[in-house]
C-alpha cells in the first residue's frame, strides 16, 4: 500500500515537473516529499506490526508528523498555479496537525521513558535466564535430595523389614523355648511325682521285711533262755536298731505322703481346738514325760479351711518339736494362738525351750534330714513337713527364736476362709 | 476259750506267714491253719469247699472261721480276692470272719479298707490284736 502510495505520488509529481531552476526546485521537493511519505509509510507499517500500544501510538504520531511534512512539501507542486488561499489554509491545517502530533509526542515522553531499552531488556532477560538456571539447579539439587531421601527411606524400610524379620525370628525362638520350658516343666513335675511315688512305695515295701525282722527277733528271744545278761543287751540293741529303721521308714512314708497335691474335696473347715485335742490324745506319753503345759486360745480365728490330715500333721510336728527341744531347767510351756492378719490367718506356737541359733542354722532349718541336735531322737523331717505343707497350700512359715528363752513358729494360712479357699 | 474251726493266712510273704502261724499256734486258738501265697489259690480253695467239691473229712480241707488277708500280693491281690469272696454263697459266709492285714497306718490301702467297712489290722500281728478282733467279730469266743 505504501509502495502504491509512493508510485501514486511519483505519478502525480512527474507530469507536473517543470524544467529550469524551478524544475530543480520541484525535483528536490519531490525527493523530500517522497522521503517524507516513505518515512511516514514505514512508520505506519511499523505501527501496524508493533503490538505494544505505547510504541504504536508513538510511531503513528511520528508517521503523522512525517505525513504532514510530506503533505506541506507536496503542496508546493500545486501552489504555483492555483488558488493561493486554499494552499495556505491546507498548509496551516497540516502544520497544526503536525504540531498536535508533536504535542501528543511530548505528552507521551514519560510513557516512552518507561519503555525499557533493548539492552535493559537483554540484561533483564539474562538475569531472568540466570534465575531460571539457578532455579533449575535448585530443582536438580532438590531432585537429588529427594532421590537421596527416597533412597534413605527405602534403606530404612529395608532395615525395618530386616528388624521385623529378626523380631519375628526372635519371637519364634522364644515361643519354642517356652514350649521346651513347658515340656521340661511337665517332665520335672512327672519326675517329681515319680520320685514321690518311688519314696512312698519303697518305704511301704521295706516295711514288711523290717516287720519280719522284728518279729523274728522276738521269736528268737522267746526261744532263748531268759537269764543271759549278754544276750539281753544284744537284744536291746537289736530292738533299738529295728525300731529306728522302722521309724525312719515311717518318716519317709509321711514325707512322700504330704508331697502329693491335695484334692479339692480334702479341704474343709477344721477347728483348731478339735485338731489340738486329737493330737494331744495321740501323744499323751511324750507330753506327760515332758511335764508340758499346753495353753491355747483360738478365739480370734477358731477355724481354718484346710486338710484335716495336714493340720493334724502340722500340730503333731510342732508339739513334738517343742517337746524334743525343751529346756531341762524349766517345765515346758507351749502356747498356741491364732489371729487374722490380712490376707493371712496366723497360727502362733510359742514355747520356752532351748531356742535355735537362727544365724547359724536359719537357712537350713526347714531342709529335709537336717538335724541340729544329737541329744534327742529325731529324723530331720518334722520342720520339713511343716514347710512343705504350708508351701503346698501357698502359705508360709516363719520362726523367731532366742537361745535359752524359747522358739516361736508362725504359720501363715492363705485362703483360710471357705469362700476364698475354694479358689485354691 | 472255744477253739476256732480253722484259720487261713493269705500273704505272699513267707516269713510273715511263718511268724503269724507261730503266733496263732502259741495262742492255741485253733488246730488248723493253712497258708496261701496269693488270692487265687485261696479263692479256689474256698470255692471248692463252698460248692462241696471236696471231701471235708480230709484234714487238708476245712471251712475257716477266720481269714487274715494281705493286700499287696502277686497274681490276685487282697481287694481282687475280696470282690470274688463276697460273691460266694451267703450262707457259707455267715460264720466266716475276714480281716485285712496292712503295713501302713496311712495310705490308700488303709483308706480303702476303712471305706469298705472290713476290719483291718496293722502289721505286725500281735496276740492283743488277734484277741481284740475275735472279741469283736466272733461272739462265741468271748469270755
CATH of B7-141 among 3.40.50.2300, 3.90.1150.10, 3.60.15.10, 2.30.30.830: 3.40.50.2300
Mutate to test the interface with B, among A208, A242, A312 (most CBs of B within 10 A): A208
Cα distance between residue A209 and residue A249, in whole Å: 12
Nearest CA in chain A to B109: A204
**A positions 58-97 inside 8 Å of B (CB):** none
Residue A37 · residue A5 · CB < 8 Å? yes
Residue A292 · residue A323 · CB < 8 Å? yes
- Asked whether residue A424 carries a pLDDT value surpassing 60, the answer given is no
- Residues A120-145 have a mean pLDDT of 92
**Which one is predicted more confidently, A389 or A162?**
A162
The verdict on A125 touching B (C-beta cutoff 8 Å) is no
Give me the architecture of the A266-421 domain, per CATH: 2-Layer Sandwich (3.30)
SS3 (DSSP) at A297: strand
User: What average pLDDT does the structure give for chain A?
Assistant: 83
Q: Cell match 547359724: residue?
A: A360
Taking contacts as CB-CB distances below 8 angstroms, the residues of chain A near B22 are: 219
Annotate A205-232 with DSSP letters as a single string: HHHHHHHHHHHHHHHHHHHS-TT-HHHH
pLDDT at B44: 93
- Asked whether residue A8 carries a pLDDT value surpassing 70, the answer given is no
User: Tens of pLDDT along A44-62?
Assistant: 888 888 777 777 888 888 8
Lowest mean pLDDT segment, chosen from A130-139, A211-220, B22-31, B110-119: B110-119
- Residues A290-301 have a mean pLDDT of 87
**Which one is predicted more confidently, A381 or A42?**
A42
Residue B19 · residue B25 · CB < 8 Å? no
**Which one is predicted more confidently, A96 or A117?**
A96
In angstroms, what CA-CA distances link A295 with A398, B37, B106?
20, 52, 29
Residue A325 · residue A357 · CB < 8 Å? no
Within 8 A by CB and 6+ apart from A22, the residues are A80
**Which one is predicted more confidently, A253 or A337?**
A337
Task: Answer whether A257 sits within 8 Å of B107, measured CB to CB.
Answer: yes
- Asked whether residue A97 carries a pLDDT value surpassing 90, the answer given is no
- Asked whether residue A356 carries a pLDDT value surpassing 90, the answer given is no
User: Tens of pLDDT along B55-76?
Assistant: 888 888 999 999 999 988 888 8
Residue A302 · residue A271 · CB < 8 Å? yes
- Residues A346-356 have a mean pLDDT of 90
Residue of B12, B135, B143 lying closest to B66 (CA atoms): B135
Cα distance between residue B9 and residue B23, in whole Å: 12
SS3 (DSSP) at A78: helix
Taking contacts as CB-CB distances below 8 angstroms, the residues of chain A near B123 are: 207-208, 211
**Residue A25 C-alpha from the chain's centroid:** 109
Within 8 A by CB and 6+ apart from A386, the residues are A314, A317, A318, A366, A397, A409, A411
pLDDT at A17: 45
pLDDT at B23: 93
Strand runs (DSSP E) across chain B, as ranges? 7-10, 33-36, 66-70, 97-102, 120-122
| Start-end of H helices in A326-381 | 358-361
**Residue B143 C-alpha from the chain's centroid:** 22
Q: For chain A, which residues make up each domain, given as ranges?
A: 2-115, 266-421
- Residues A118-139 have a mean pLDDT of 91
Q: For chain B, which residues make up each domain, given as ranges?
A: 7-141
ipTM of the complex: 0.81
Burial class (CB in 10 A: 0-12, 13-18, 19+), A252: buried
Distance from CA of B54 to the nearest CA of A (A): 34
Cα distance between residue A274 and residue A312, in whole Å: 10
Question: Which candidate from A205, A219, A253 shows the least CB-CB separation from B22?
Answer: A219
Cα distance between residue A185 and residue A176, in whole Å: 14
Amino acid at each position: 500500500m505504501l509502495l502504491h502510495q509512493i508510485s501514486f505520488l511519483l505519478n502525480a509529481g512527474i507530469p507536473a515537473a517543470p524544467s529550469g531552476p524551478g524544475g530543480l526546485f520541484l525535483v528536490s521537493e519531490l525527493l523530500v516529499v517522497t522521503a517524507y511519505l516513505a518515512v511516514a509509510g514505514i512508520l505506519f507499517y511499523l505501527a501496524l506490526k508493533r503490538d505494544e500500544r505505547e510504541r504504536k501510538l508513538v510511531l503513528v504520531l511520528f508517521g503523522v508528523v512525517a505525513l504532514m511534512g510530506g503533505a506541506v512539501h507536496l503542496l508546493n507542486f500545486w501552489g504555483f498555479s492555483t488558488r493561493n488561499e486554499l494552499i495556505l489554509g491546507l498548509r496551516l491545517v497540516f502544520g497544526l496537525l503536525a504540531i498536535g502530533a508533536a504535542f501528543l509526542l511530548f505528552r507521551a515522553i514519560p510513557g516512552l521513558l518507561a519503555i525499557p531499552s533493548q539492552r535493559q531488556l537483554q540484561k533483564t532477560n539474562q538475569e531472568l535466564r540466570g534465575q531460571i538456571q539457578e532455579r533449575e539447579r535448585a530443582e536438580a539439587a532438590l531432585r537429588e535430595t529427594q532421590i537421596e531421601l527416597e533412597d534413605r527411606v527405602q534403606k530404612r524400610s529395608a532395615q525395618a523389614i530386616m528388624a521385623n524379620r529378626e523380631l519375628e525370628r526372635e519371637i519364634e525362638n522364644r515361643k519354642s523355648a517356652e514350649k521346651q520350658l513347658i515340656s521340661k516343666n511337665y517332665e520335672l513335675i512327672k519326675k517329681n511325682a515319680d520320685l514321690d511315688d518311688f519314696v512312698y512305695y519303697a518305704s511301704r515295701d521295706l516295711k514288711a521285711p523290717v516287720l519280719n525282722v522284728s518279729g523274728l527277733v522276738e521269736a528268737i528271744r522267746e526261744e532263748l533262755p531268759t537269764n543271759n545278761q549278754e544276750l539281753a543287751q544284744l537284744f536291746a540293741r537289736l530292738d533299738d536298731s529295728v525300731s529306728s529303721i522302722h521309724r525312719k521308714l515311717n518318716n519317709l512314708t509321711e514325707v512322700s505322703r504330704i508331697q502329693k497335691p491335695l484334692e479339692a474335696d480334702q479341704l474343709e473347715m477344721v477347728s483348731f481346738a478339735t485338731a489340738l485335742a486329737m493330737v494331744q490324745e495321740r501323744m499323751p506319753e511324750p507330753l506327760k514325760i515332758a511335764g508340758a503345759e499346753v495353753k491355747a486360745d483360738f478365739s480370734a480365728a477358731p477355724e481354718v479351711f484346710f486338710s484335716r490330715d495336714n493340720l493334724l500333721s502340722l500340730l503333731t510336728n510342732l508339739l513334738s518339736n517343742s517337746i524334743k527341744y525343751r529346756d531341762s531347767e524349766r517345765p515346758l510351756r507351749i502356747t498356741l494362738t491364732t489371729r487374722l492378719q490380712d490376707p493371712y490367718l496366723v497360727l502362733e506356737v510359742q514355747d520356752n525351750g532351748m531356742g535355735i541359733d537362727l544365724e547359724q542354722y536359719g537357712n537350713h532349718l526347714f531342709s529335709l534330714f537336717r538335724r541340729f541336735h544329737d541329744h534327742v531322737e529325731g529324723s530331720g523331717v518334722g520342720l520339713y513337713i511343716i514347710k512343705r505343707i504350708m508351701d503346698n497350700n501357698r502359705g508360709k512359715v516363719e520362726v523367731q527364736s532366742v537361745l535359752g528363752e524359747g522358739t516361736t513358729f508362725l504359720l501363715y494360712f492363705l485362703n483360710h476362709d471357705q469362700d476364698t479357699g475354694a479358689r485354691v | 476259750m472255744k477253739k476256732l474251726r480253722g484259720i487261713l493266712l493269705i500273704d505272699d510273704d513267707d516269713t510273715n506267714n511263718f511268724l503269724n502261724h507261730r503266733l496263732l499256734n502259741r495262742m492255741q486258738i485253733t488246730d488248723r491253719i493253712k497258708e496261701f501265697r496269693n488270692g487265687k489259690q485261696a479263692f479256689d480253695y474256698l470255692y471248692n469247699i463252698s460248692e462241696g467239691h471236696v471231701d471235708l473229712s480230709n484234714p487238708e480241707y476245712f471251712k475257716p472261721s477266720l481269714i487274715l488277708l494281705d493286700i499287696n500280693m502277686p497274681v490276685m491281690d487282697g481287694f481282687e480276692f475280696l470282690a470274688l469272696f463276697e460273691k460266694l454263697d451267703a450262707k457259707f459266709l455267715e460264720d466266716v470272719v475276714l480281716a485285712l492285714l496292712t503295713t501302713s497306718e496311712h495310705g490308700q490301702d488303709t483308706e480303702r479298707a476303712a471305706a469298705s467297712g472290713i476290719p483291718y489290722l496293722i502289721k505286725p500281728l500281735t496276740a492283743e490284736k488277734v484277741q481284740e478282733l475275735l472279741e469283736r467279730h466272733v461272739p462265741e469266743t468271748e469270755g
